[in-house]
Amino acid sequence: MKVLLPLSTIVAAVLAQTGIFEPGGFNVTEALISNGCSSLKLIYGSDKLLSENTSSYDTFTGAYWSIQQSSVSPQCVFKPSNTIEVSSLILVSRLAQCQFAVKGGGHAAFAGASSIERGITVYMERFNQVAVSSDKKFANVGAGTRWVDVYRTLENSGVSVVGGRMASVGVPGLILGGGISFFSNKMGWACDNVASYEVVTASGLVVTATPTKYPDLYWALRGGGNNFGIVTNFKLEAFPLGKMWGGQRIFAENNFKAVLDAVFNFATVESSKDTDAAEIVSFGNYPGIGKIAIVQTHYAQPVANASVFADFNTLTPVMDDTGVSYLSDLTIKLNGGSPNDTLGSLQTQWDATFKVDRELFTFLVDTFYSLISNVQDVKGAFPTISIQPVTEGQLKSMQKNGGNALGLSPAKGPIFIMNMSASFASPEGEAAIFKFFSTVIQKVKAEAKSKGVDNDYIYMNYASQFMDPIATYGPANVAKLISVSKKYDPAQVFQNLHPGHFKLAKGPPNPNMP
């Protein structure tokens, strides 16, 4: 049996091992970080810690979705198994003033989002439980799970939850940033379907936030990101689901007008008639083919080509992989046919939001293609631009259980998110990709403002490091988020010692675009 000494005693013992002298050039910050790692190893053993210059450490850092995140080198990686160990991590970090990051699925694009240079990265992989309640109304899901694993487990019980659409995306990041789902038209976003959050706060205290218990914290976690503690478990509302229909169809340029007409009709009319439906339309340049539209349609019933998709059903695609399948298989299909991330690429994502407007659809697609030649020489680049309708059904569902923190109102809908993403192979091309996406957003925003259809909202899960999504939630919501943060984290641990991703009042993670 392990004897757990007070943390301060352990850290002091480790500090004593360094000797009583101070060599020239002594770096107190590095020493404190090193002692933080040593303290965790002393408390919990080497099984819970990955150290530099080991194969397990290299495997961990190399397994992020983006090369940018893999390029970050933490002092050590801590792998807790329970809330007590997470609590200890926070207290050791506070005692040693050692910065830390938390990795769930690691699916953010930019460096430092869920990694930390010369700090402690907390890897939540051992919080991998997925358990269905006896009445099948809820599922307890650990913060180390990926959506494909959640769905595979739940399918054995004939239920599912409102969650991610790509297999390899992690549970915590998606939910804490909002979380768009195939089922959002009927049920809202993932954050709107959480019955409770188990959270380890800055003092090491573990609390369970619900609509009636710690309701302010519950509200803040619905879109407020990683600013309030380390969430270790999500109790998600479950619903019956067997097989469903979905996939993607690819259309050539001669169908672009009809595709845009179809997604406009869905966003403004059809989505309210049949809430089982979901659509995303993307545009890009495919090698050997040219300009293409990629239409992702999904339907929460095992029914092919439902009438809600009639506008697309009359078109002739150059490729069609739609079919009836389990949800887990559909997320694998959207993940390139694998349950795991395809590693080894640079990644970036950007987004902006607008009121649904048919003319603006054409403008943004034309603007994208008019500027894409600026990145044609970037090695391995495949940029896309997407239209994701946020329907009135989604906006209404966001208001349940006291609403979420995002500041979106049904009165201003329907809206859509313009999401741009790119994978590429050349670091030298990064600035060109950034400039390309930034210019498209500037031009589309200017056009939208001239038409009176602009919306300030930035979706956190698609935001680049040069954006400040929380600032777009509205002044009242931002003030409330800051108030909740100061209530549960008076020392502002999760603003200062946990600096990664998007903070409450610090602006973009990187305010200086190259």
pLDDT computed for residue 28 by the predictor:
65
- Asked if residue 244 lies in contact with residue 300, where contact means CB atoms within 8 angstroms, the answer is yes
Rounded to an integer, what distance in angstroms lies between the CA atom of residue 337 and that of residue 426? 24
Name the residue among 96, 104, 94, 100 with its Cα closest to residue 76: 100
What does the alpha-carbon distance between residue 132 and residue 138 come to, in Å, rounded to a whole number? 6
Task: Check if 7-123 and 244-472 are the same fold.
Answer: no
**Tokens 């940033």 label which residue?**
177
Looking at residue 491, the DSSP 8-state letter turns out to be T
φ/ψ of 502, rounded to 5, equals -110, 120
Q: Write down the pLDDT at residue 8.
A: 47
What does the alpha-carbon distance between residue 408 and residue 472 come to, in Å, rounded to a whole number?
A: 10
- The CATH class, in words, for 7-123 is alpha beta
Which amino acid makes up residue 152?
R
Asked if the bond preceding 414 is cis, omega within 30° of 0, the reply is: yes
Alpha helix segments (H runs only) across 140-214 = 147-155, 171-176, 184-187
Region 244-472: CATH code: 3.40.462.20
Residue 138 — left, alpha, or beta (φ > 0 → left; ψ -120 to 50 → alpha)? beta
Give residue 370's pLDDT.
Answer: 98
Residue whose entry in the numeric block shows the structure tokens 């709107």: 192
Are the C-beta atoms of 423 and 459 separated by less than 8 Å? no
15: buried, middle or exposed (CB in 10 Å: 19+, 13-18, 0-12)? middle
Which of 3.40.50.1100, 3.30.465.10, 1.10.8.100, 3.90.78.10 would CATH assign to domain 130-241+473-496?
A: 3.30.465.10
Asked if residue 222 lies in contact with residue 404, where contact means CB atoms within 8 angstroms, the answer is yes
For Cα atoms 43, 46, 49, give the angle at the middle one, nearest 5 degrees. 90
The neighbour count for residue 260, using CB atoms within 10 Å, is: 20
The count of residues in the chain is 514
Q: What is the pLDDT along the chain (514 residues), one digit of tens a residue?
A: 344 444 544 444 544 555 545 666 667 667 777 889 999 999 999 999 999 999 999 999 999 999 999 999 999 999 999 999 999 999 999 999 999 999 999 999 999 999 999 999 999 999 999 999 999 999 999 999 999 999 999 999 999 999 999 999 999 999 999 999 999 999 999 999 999 999 999 999 999 999 999 999 999 999 999 999 999 999 999 999 999 999 999 999 999 999 999 999 999 999 999 999 999 999 999 888 899 999 999 999 999 999 999 999 999 999 999 999 999 999 999 999 999 988 889 999 999 999 999 999 999 999 999 999 999 999 999 999 999 999 999 999 999 999 999 999 999 999 999 999 999 999 999 999 999 999 999 999 999 999 999 999 999 999 999 999 999 999 999 999 999 999 999 999 999 999 999 999 999 999 998 7
pTM for the whole structure: 0.94
Structure tokens at 364: 């943004």
Domain ranges of the chain: 7-123, 130-241+473-496, 244-472
For residue 71, give the DSSP letter: T
